[in-house]
Structure 1
Amino acid sequence: MVDGDPAGGPAEAGGPGAGRTGSERAGAGRGRAPLRLAQALLIAAVSPLVPGIAHLRAGRVRLGGTLLGLQAAALTAAALAAGRYRALFLELSARPPWLLALVAACVALAALWALLIGHSYAVLAPEGLAPLWRLAGGTTVAVLCLLVIVPPLSLAQFGYVQRHLIRTVFADGPVAPAAVRLAARQGGAARWPGAPRLNVLLIGAAPDAARDPDPARDVDRVGDVTLASVDVRSGDTTLLALPAGLRRVPVWSGAEPVPFPPGRPLADVYREGAAHPELLAGGGPVRDPGAELLKRTVAHMLGQDVPYYVKVDASGVRALSGTGAPTAPAKKGCPFWAKLRETEPLAVLKRYQRLARVFINSVNTDVPRRLLPALAGPAAKIEDAEITSLRPAAGAAAAPRAGQVALRVLAARAPGAPVPAARPVTGLPILSVSCN
């Protein structure tokens, strides 16, 4: 006799069970058992999406209603947060403690979903099943549990990889004074005039093998040197690419000039610092002496505060630029930024683990981890921000000199300011402009 089956109860006079023996009623109940088993498995399968449906069907109204209410509240909160607090998500994704909490929460969610499936099946599973049907039901539930834990565990893996990336790439050192002011001003822009800006030196390391096949020399060589100036309120960014042939570079230790042959180009400053770390004033541990000396030199040369650098090798730029199929051709002079905007988020997620590994192996920076949350706001605005690339040329046969006033004028432009004419009053031609 199947528990709860109306056909298995005492037959009322004139009812559908009248005149049937007990064995006949039990056989009819066993005949419907596979159908009831399929219904129980189907409801258990959808229980992570509609928690409590199995308990409501089993008559446990209070528990089922509570589970449904919790699900509705969680979905409402997630929808509101996703629509209004994108910058908050980016900020949390830059905090290793929160990422660790995310990993733990995802693991707990996976366990709860598996438990919910098992319990939903338990409250609906029909009694009196043959051993083979019981085995089939248990196996199906086990498979459902394995399938349902894949999404939260995948998210936990993303959180773990992101935490490892942040702890590996970004320094755990002090925040530069200019960046301290930047972090303190977040949310209080009305109290101070002017557009706050953060300057970061972008260093392209390791020339292409076609031009320099000796990998042993790549470690001490750099190619492109670009000053990125970011408006931290709007996300507008100006990329000033310094000419590779700059001569008469005023190398700066941080406190005094450093002797440097006038005929050597700006890119050689990196090699000088890597070979002679003692040239840096102030002492203390430095992640990359070559990048540090180059950063101080550019800041002194352009008259700008440049608190941080980011060094990326050539292979890393190519890999990071290929995060997904672009929906439109990348603009000349701005391939990385164009592809970054055109990349679909799902394409990034599918390849995130490999991209994170490329980022770890290709990027070196002194940006401290504690500053990353303050940069989440500008990062969230990159899709609508004005990205301008300024690539000045010498305009003459002679190599440009680092002391040109034109470079200081271009470096002083506010991020997002109107793009100068092809030949501005400074006399320095601009080869590429807007990246939008």
Structure 2
Amino acid sequence: MVVDDPAAARGGFDGSGGSDGPGGGARAGRARPIGGAAAPLRMAQALLIAAVSPVLPGIAHLRAGRVRLGGALLGTQAAALTAAALVSGRYRALFLELSVRPSWLLVLVAACVVLAGLWALLIAHSYAVLAPEGLAPLWRLAGGTTVSVLCLLVIVPPLSLAQYGYVQRDLIRTVFKDAPVASAAVQAAARTGDADGWPGTARLNVLLVSFAPRPPREPARVAGITLAAVDTRTGGTTLLTLPGDLRHVPAWSGAGPVPFPPGRPLAAVYREGTAHPELLGDGARVPDPGAELLKRTVAHMIGQDVPYYVKVDARGAGELAGTPSGAATAKKGCPFWANIREAEPLAMLKRYQRLARVLINSVNTDLPRRLLPPLAGLAAKIEKAEITSLRPAAGRAFAGRADHPALRALAAVAPGRPVPAARAPAGLPILSVSCN
């Protein structure tokens, strides 16, 4: 194709407006078809600018002479990025709390889908305002195909974030229920002046129960019982391991003692509660009577309020710790949940969907969903606080009795504070390990 306008060949268009006239030079340059090698070059430039438009929205419109629209797009993005930087630095705890609210996660999913659509539209429109006229059909096809590929690539990040949000919402709605608090927990919390059993209190106790691998039809067998005591002000945490073979267990229904043979171990309380839910005795309808009876028994045994429990099977524990089922943890004496925070965030993100599925299939708890926002804020404190693991040492000085008076003294230690061997409760040698 031959350009028959000498002024256009020199870069001017009509001699009257030039590049400074209404519409701008770039827009005026599209007044006539461009031939030769100039058309593919202009198309390549348009594609390059369209590709970076999600990072610099409005740059294509500014180049095309649409100053108001381009400036508005750039200004909007700059304001949004500035606000996000300020909020992420000052309100990180708020983000954590919002990340465990199903309603906000649904908003996040919808926003990500909308953002993906807007980014794709921005790329297509940016190319449209800069694409040269007079392209051969083959070049037009190549340009359209490239724009389609760019649109597909740009929607991947927001849609991936939307998928993470959906998985997180499914995890929260599946694992955490908004069932009423059991009456025994309410009674225990009432003694501290808080009906929820946590907000407003200085200490939160959660019973962590792990289960050994078993065939599908075999009854569950308790493999580990740990009391997690958390200082809600500092995040300091103590993980007190209670041996499952403790005898002379004061089984407790929440209202009174429960008949339980003195020769049976503490771990057997779970199976007893599962087989006889009527032992709870207060008419409470709980999803897991075995875990509820074990939780109330431990609370009575150590003289501490234990309002909640978390159950996890051994295979799930290994998956969460990043180790094969049954393998030892990275730090001897530190349960896997104390080592999770040492994992690289990017590695955890890559495994998140798998980990979420493990949590859904392997974890059960009576922590109500309404407590997840303050729990997220507490988790941020625990991440930087001291975590100490305590466990009674086997030996003659410890007779393996659940009514051992030193267990109460050990459970009363302030969360996160190490207990040197020289200051261990009388008659109960313990092993103390810092999990930091």
Q: Scaled by the length of structure 2, what TM-score is found?
A: 0.87
Q: How does 1:332-343 map to 2 (within 5 A)?
A: 332-343=332-343
SS at match of 1:433: strand
Residue matched to 1:6: 8
Worse overlay, 53-62 or 419-428: 419-428
Q: Does 1:362 align with 2:368?
A: no
User: Deviation digits for residues 25-76 of structure 1, max 9, x if unmatched?
Assistant: 9886343000000000000000000000000000111111111111111111
Q: Distance in 2 between matches of 1:280 and 1:238?
A: 28
Q: Distance in 1 between matches of 2:233 and 2:130?
A: 56
SS at match of 1:225: strand
Which residues of structure 2 form unaligned runs of 5+? 16-30
* Aligned with 1:31 (options 27, 31, 37): 37
Worse overlay, 422-431 or 155-164: 422-431
Residue matched to 1:49: 55
Residue matched to 1:411: 411
Residue matched to 1:119: 125
**Could you tell me whether the CA contact under 8 Å between 1:391 and 1:433 is conserved in 2?**
no
Q: Distance in 1 between matches of 2:217 and 2:271?
A: 13
Q: How does 1:199-238 map to 2 (within 5 A)?
A: 199-205=205-211, 207-208=212-213, 214-217=215-218, 219-238=219-238
Residue matched to 1:310: 310
SS at match of 2:346: helix
* Aligned with 1:139 (options 132, 135, 145): 145
Shift of 1:335: 5.0
Q: How does 1:270-285 map to 2 (within 5 A)?
A: 270-285=270-285
Shift of 1:180: 4.6
Q: Distance in 1 between matches of 2:54 and 2:302?
A: 58
Residue matched to 2:259: 259
Residue matched to 1:22: none
* Number of matched pairs: 404
**Could you tell me whether the CA contact under 8 Å between 2:197 and 2:307 is conserved in 1?**
no
Q: Distance in 1 between matches of 2:393 and 2:213?
A: 22
Task: Write the letter of the residue equivalent to 2:45.
Answer: Q
**Could you tell me whether the CA contact under 8 Å between 1:238 and 1:390 is conserved in 2?**
yes
Shift of 1:284: 3.5
Worse overlay, 421-430 or 358-367: 421-430
Q: How does 1:387-406 map to 2 (within 5 A)?
A: 387-396=387-396, 399-406=399-406
Shift of 1:91: 0.4
Task: Write the letter of the residue equivalent to 1:354.
Answer: R
**Could you tell me whether the CA contact under 8 Å between 2:238 and 2:388 is conserved in 1?**
yes
Worse overlay, 63-72 or 337-346: 337-346
Task: Write the letter of the residue equivalent to 2:72.
Answer: T
Shift of 1:378: 1.5
* Aligned with 1:76 (options 82, 86, 102): 82
Cα 1:170/1:422, change in 2 over 3 Å: farther
Worse overlay, 337-346 or 152-161: 337-346
Shift of 1:182: 6.1
Q: Distance in 1 between matches of 2:230 and 2:13?
A: 81
Worse overlay, 281-290 or 222-231: 281-290
**Could you tell me whether the CA contact under 8 Å between 1:405 and 1:426 is conserved in 2?**
no
Shift of 1:353: 0.5
Cα-Cα RMSD: 2.4
Q: Distance in 1 between matches of 2:284 and 2:95?
A: 35
SS at match of 2:432: coil
SS at match of 1:77: helix
Q: Distance in 2 between matches of 1:418 and 1:313?
A: 28
**Could you tell me whether the CA contact under 8 Å between 1:106 and 1:155 is conserved in 2?**
yes
Q: Distance in 2 between matches of 1:106 and 1:67?
A: 18
**Could you tell me whether the CA contact under 8 Å between 1:204 and 1:312 is conserved in 2?**
yes
Residue matched to 1:106: 112
Q: Distance in 1 between matches of 2:305 and 2:32?
A: 86
Shift of 1:433: 2.2
**Could you tell me whether the CA contact under 8 Å between 1:201 and 1:306 is conserved in 2?**
yes
